[in-house]
Copies of this chain bind each other. A is one copy, B any other.
Amino acid sequence: MEAQLRRVTSADVARAAGVSRATVSYVLNDTPHQTIPPETRRRVLDAAARLDYAPSAAARTLRSGRSDVVLCLLPDWPVGQEVGTLLSHLSAALARHGMTFVAHPSTRADRPVAAIWKALTPAAVLAFEEISDEEIVAMRAAGVAPLVALLGVSRERRRELEVPQQRVGRLQAEHLATTGHNRLGYAYPDDPRVAIFAEPRLDGVRAACAAAGLPPPVVRTVALEPAAAADAVAAWHAEQVTGVCAYNDEVALAVLAGMRVRGLAAPGDLAVIGVDDIPPARLCEPPLSTIATDQTQVAEHLAATIVDVIAGRPAPERPGPVLSRVVIREST
């Protein structure tokens, strides 16, 4: 019918509705302190719908100086599906607030981070990794981009979103302590890039040990290979460790593999508990106890915080404490 090759602009809508462009803008944004009679409003909305009008984000961004995009800089360590689902929920939650969520796989080495957010003029940037102070002032200076950092550790210097990583570690250790283990090990990840998450979790384990009157955990780095893990297992065994908290489920699987190499079996010789509850956790031998986190709840809180920060309001308080829970299977 109408083979439109040009973009439909608000001027087109205005023409179709027989009003001025300004009126269209007022109607479509229901600008406060503007009195529009219902009849006119209807005409404008009709025309907009009929023409399939969608405002140009570019023009709107140019005009207002900020867009409704929230940019998430992904870390350069491989993101598993738990982060994937978190982002998915986050995207949905932000959409409910009228914002568009996008993620950029960090290729930090390739391009400076600045190039990315300058190319998008997002309303907010959400990062998993530390951001340099100069970077932060630069973003603030660019006016359009308040910053939010998601870290495992809470830092006093600025307001941050904190997924309670410490609590994750504490839950692991408490579970092992209450099931009769009094000498714990910690399976630390091989990849140095995930240290931001590993450190607070380990801190949580340490805290729980101290609270339960146990000696501090025996920390060993565990690569994702049976042979390497076997060495760690042997070391724990030699130190009378009977329960191991792993950084995550994959590391836990490595520990189980290492035990197999040494002819040991969980939970008899060594109890193992992971974090994340990835699908393989329930499929391995023995099925892996782990810590599951309600990503929906985390996403909801993250979204609320982001919205508040963008609006310049102080961030809301921490999420309720029941985001994570222990999933008991047969490895403990």
Contact = CB atoms under 8 A, between A and B. Distances in A.
Interface of A: 3-7, 52, 54-59, 61-62, 65, 67-69, 71, 74, 76, 78-81, 84-85, 87-88, 90-92, 95-96, 100-107, 110-111, 114-116, 118-121, 138, 141-144, 224-226, 250, 253-254, 256-257, 260, 278-280, 282-285, 287
A67 B62 CA distance: 13
B120 A57 contact: yes
A282 B225 contact: yes
B91 A84 contact: no
Contacts of A225: 282
A282 B226 contact: yes
B88 A58 contact: no
A257 B101 CA distance: 38
Contact of A119 (B57, B79, B87): B57
A292 to B, nearest CB: 14
A55 B285 CA distance: 56
Contacts of A260: 285
Contact of A52 (B81, B103, B105, B138): B138
25 contacts: A4-B141, A6-B143, A54-B115, A54-B142, A56-B121, A58-B67, A74-B88, A76-B88, A88-B107, A91-B107, A95-B107, A95-B110, A100-B116, A100-B120, A102-B102, A102-B104, A103-B104, A103-B105, A250-B279, A250-B280, A253-B283, A254-B283, A256-B283, A257-B285, A280-B284
A111 B78 CA distance: 28
